[in-house]
């Protein structure tokens, strides 16, 4: 197995302690940083699919994302200024009145693993704050809004509609326990995902 294949396999099973060494060995073999990064992105895509299908659970996904992030730490100094692999910046947050962050954090991790730079606004984010964050950050291509409560669905709607009304050229993806594809479409979101694995797939689709 080539080193790059080994990196891919070990990210998938979350070998956090082995990854930095393996990434270094893959570089030493002459693989380009971008290729190694792409291999890890592909691993995380497999992880996302397995999570969506119920084959793996949250700890397995977290540990794989952590392994990838350890690998990215090794590659980062070598890729400074290279944006070719980036899918842009994604602003993420849980909408106003809602303090749930676990699902949002998982989605953030998976979208980051797909190749986005993440800006996490946290929880209880007012609609206007999403718009400000799009303006404040460079190359924002996507905004991800999360809402876990039936009672905060109006806030989700307001967030999406405020972002859309701003005229900014970004796609909006939504998710959270009470959100359905129908509701997402009704409030004007560009995309919906039922879980963190699907969110990464949808995010890539939306900015392609």
Partner 1 sequence: MLTKRQNLMETIKGGNPDRFVNQYEFMNLIMEAPLGEMAGPGQIIKNGWGITFSWPADQLGGFPVHDEEHKVLKDITDWKNQVKAPAVATSDEAWAAAVAHANAVDRNEEFVTAFVAPGVFEMTHHLMSMEDALMALYEEPEDMHDLIDYLVDYELAYAKELISRIHPDCIFHHDDWGSQRSSFVSPEMFEEFFLPAYKKIYGFYKENGVELIVHHSDSYGVNLVPFMIEMGIDIWQGVMTTNNVPELIEKYGQQMTFMGAIDSGVVDFPGWTPEIVAEYTEKACKECGKLYFIPNLTQGLNFSSFPGVYEETTKVIDRLSKEMF
For partner 1, the binding residues (CB under 8 A) are 14, 16, 54, 56-60, 62-63, 66, 97, 99, 102-103, 105, 149-151, 177-178, 194-195
CA dist., res. 91 & res. 177, Å (int): 20
Q: Least distance in Å: CB of 15 to partner 1?
A: 10
Q: Least distance in Å: CB of 138 to partner 1?
A: 27
CA dist., res. 156 & res. 208, Å (int): 24
Of residues 74 and 96, the one with the C-beta less far from partner 1:
96
Of residues 89 and 152, the one with the C-beta less far from partner 1:
152
Of residues 58 and 78, the one with the C-beta less far from partner 1:
58
DSSP conformational letter for 124: S
Of residues 188 and 194, the one with the C-beta less far from partner 1:
194
Distance separating the N- and C-terminal Cα atoms of the chain? 31
Of residues 5 and 150, the one with the C-beta less far from partner 1:
150
CA distances (Å), origin 17, targets 7, 102, 207: 12, 24, 33
Q: Least distance in Å: CB of 72 to partner 1?
A: 17
Instruction: Please report, to the nearest 10 degrees, the dihedral formed by the alpha carbons of residues 43, 65, 110, 119 taken in order.
Output: -130
Of residues 106 and 145, the one with the C-beta less far from partner 1:
106
- Tracing tokens 């002459």 back to the chain, one arrives at 30
CA dist., res. 206 & res. 172, Å (int): 9
- The count of other CB atoms within 10 Å of the CB of residue 156 is 29
Q: Least distance in Å: CB of 195 to partner 1?
A: 7
Which H or E run includes 91?
A: strand 89-94
Q: Least distance in Å: CB of 109 to partner 1?
A: 9
Spatial neighbors of 119 by CB under 8 A, at least 6 apart, are 89, 90, 91, 92, 133, 137, 140
Q: Least distance in Å: CB of 123 to partner 1?
A: 9
């Amino acid at each position: 197995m080539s080193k790059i294949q080994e990196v891919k396999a070990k990210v998938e099973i979350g070998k956090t302690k082995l990854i930095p060494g393996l990434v270094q060995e893959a570089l030493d073999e002459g693989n380009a940083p971008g290729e190694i990064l792409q291999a890890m992105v592909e691993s995380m895509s497999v992880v996302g699919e397995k999570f969506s299908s119920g084959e793996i659970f949250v700890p397995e996904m977290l540990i794989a994302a952590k392994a990838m992030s350890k690998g990215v730490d090794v590659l980062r100094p070598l890729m400074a200024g290279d944006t070719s692999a980036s899918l842009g910046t994604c602003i993420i947050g849980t909408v106003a009145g809602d303090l749930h962050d676990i699902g949002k954090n998982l989605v953030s991790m998976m979208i980051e693993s797909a190749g986005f730079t993440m800006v996490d606004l946290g929880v209880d984010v007012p609609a206007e704050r999403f718009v400000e964050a799009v303006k404040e950050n460079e190359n924002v291509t996507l905004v991800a809004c999360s809402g876990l409560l039936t009672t905060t669905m109006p806030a989700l709607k307001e967030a999406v509609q405020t972002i859309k009304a701003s005229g900014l050229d970004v796609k909006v993806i939504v998710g959270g326990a009470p959100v359905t594809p129908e509701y997402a479409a009704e409030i004007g979101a560009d995309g919906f995902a039922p879980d963190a694995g699907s969110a990464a797939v949808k995010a890539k689709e939306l900015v392609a």
